[in-house]
Amino acid sequence: MTQSVWDATTLPEFSKVDPANIVADLDTLLEKNRADIDAVVSKNTAPTWASLVLPLDNIHDRLSHFWSPISHLNSVQNTPEIREAYNASLPKLSEYYTELGQNKALYEAYKALANSDEAKHLTAAQTEALTQTIRDFELSGVGLEGAAKKRYGEISARLSELGSQFGENVLDATRAWSKLITDEAELAGLPESALAQAKQMAEAKGKDGWLFTLDIPSYLPVLSYADNQALREEMYTAYATRASEQSDDGKFDNAPLIDEILALRHEMAQILGFDNYAELSVATKMAENGQQVVDFLDDLAVKSKPSAEQDLAGLKAFAKQEHGVDTLNAWDVGYYAEKLREKKYAISQEVLRPYFPINKVTSGLFYVAQTLFGVDIREESDFDTYHQDVKLFTISKDGVDVARFFLDPFAREGKRGGAWMDECRVRRRIDESQLQLPVAYLVCNFTPPIGDQPALLTHDEVTTLFHEFGHGLHHMLTQVDVSSVSGINGVAWDAVELPSQFMENWCWEPEALAHIAGHFESGEPLPQDLLDKMLAAKNFQSGMQMVRQLEFSLFDFRLHREYKAGISVQAVLDDVRSTVAVMTPPAFNRFQNSFSHIFAGGYAAGYYSYKWAEVLSADAFSKFEEDGIFNTETGAHFRDTILANGGSRSAAELFEAFRGREPRVDALLRHSGIAA
């Protein structure tokens, strides 16, 4: 009988991570892994799944168990010691993975298994894993010889260093800027929650007054509500020039890194036989080629831009008529948009905040998952943690534990901005009698609790939590036992956002909001009039939001597709804006210098994935609109097709299995309030 493994080794022991030992321990482990891999290869003259793949999985997972908590701490509890050890480890890991990807004997062993009689009897997941592994060997330059092989290794190592440095520069530049205000009159218009948070931050630094930083929970309220235009301009300018030549004496300037990253990616793609990095990127995605991606984005832009132009015209007219503003600057847009939203719908994120205390939102999220997917979620009290805000939960189905996840919800110093889900443990078959269960990290940067009051979320933050939990469910509810296609592994990158964006839909459904929202003091549900206003305002300026995302997507993809030596990154961005954007940022804006998704994350020539997957998620959700948003049969069908199969079948095949047809774009345009 299979035993699911839930012993001490299944969860990271954060308290035992000693930065002083990381590099030496990694060296020892990599040496052991290399020897073990050689031993597996030499034994496999006639490879079988059990003799080749399972032992290699155990070797790979051993390294993952070691590195996962270190990498996680580097993102969420960044100290000089962790950072130093992390950066010293990156070249070693890069070299190891490059060697692995170019190990000809290993590649031949996988090919021998794929061509063997045993291969005819493998499961669909095993077959897909083999296909993807062989493809990945080829995309890692296994066929390279001599100088090209050596150069590929150098590029891989340098790119991993540059990506880390890019992210650190953004973190350090964000950290380097703060503003203390001692005269409350300068803060007119700011909501009570933002003032209380700024006061608490000042007190934490032993100062009187209100302290503001460029972290989103501090920055966004100023841009949205501060009547003080000079303060909005100052903060916008600081935020928009982070990690550029214009701030901190250029100490954290990411521009030279961007140039080097692009040149190296292009060179790598050419070494592997691709015209450019965009084509290399698409080789592992749902999209068939680069032209299909550009056409998809251009088509959405044509359909969305008229709506965006209307949005902007309405905003300008309102700012002029009601507030006498002739010129709408970049730092005015959010402010007057909030004023217009309040006038039109008498609603703001702040009015909603008291109805979304984090505990109520979390229990509502769990209710949605439990109802749709037939799972139970319970909190654990005893575990090794790295910060008091972190919680641990176990997911079970039919009384059997299936997964766990850490939730780290609040912004704090030394924590990377944004929100993400990451793999802590992958579900996989260890041997015939043992199954390792999946564990996920869910990380957000919400406004922390203030004083005795619980953390109150904006509705935007609520949708962020649902989004990341969707990624988590994809990782945790997998039924695949083959690690390389289990959970989010092996899923085409432009389909990986499907479950996350899909989950956001419940944040807008009255039937679901009855469980998600409740006043933090009285517990009373979201009043009907507020709910009506919130739903009416759902697509407020959605045209402008759509073209903004298309701007990022096209910039990323064209930059990698049209790259040539000496290319001007700014010129590409300006050209994209001239065709897609309705509002052009000021010339000093250096958005690209903090675009971590594509320069320090996995989204290079793949940022379009958000929009591509949004088509899938909107269309998938339209099935629930037809059947009932809490229809348990439809929920189980989604779980058993999309979530359970991970990367074991193609995303297109799984979507059709769920929807009964190919995806259509009309649901996305309808949900966004942009008629085709």
Active-site residues, by number, are 468
Question: What are the C-alpha distances in Å from 396 to residues 187, 361, 376, 402?
Answer: 48, 20, 5, 5
Paired sense of beta strands 420-425 and 400-410, if any:
unpaired
Helix (H, G, I), strand (E, B) or coil at 442: strand
Q: How far apart are CA 338 and CA 348, in angstroms?
A: 7
Tell me the two tokens of residue 485: 């296609």
Q: How far apart are CA 366 and CA 472, in angstroms?
A: 12
Helix (H, G, I), strand (E, B) or coil at 608: coil
Paired sense of beta strands 400-410 and 439-446, if any:
parallel
Q: How far apart are CA 166 and CA 256, in angstroms?
A: 10
Concatenating the DSSP letter of every residue in 387-429 gives: STT-EEEEEEETTEEEEEEEEEEE--TTS-SS-EEEEEE--EE
3-state DSSP helix/strand/coil % of the chain, to nearest 5: 60, 10, 30
Half-sphere exposure of 633 (CA within 13 A, CB side): 4
Q: How far apart are CA 501 and CA 475, in angstroms?
A: 15
Q: How far apart are CA 241 and CA 591, in angstroms?
A: 7
Which of 524, 356, 522 minimizes the C-alpha distance to 454?
356
Residue in the structure block whose two tokens are 């469980």: 515
371, 630 in Cβ contact below 8 A? yes
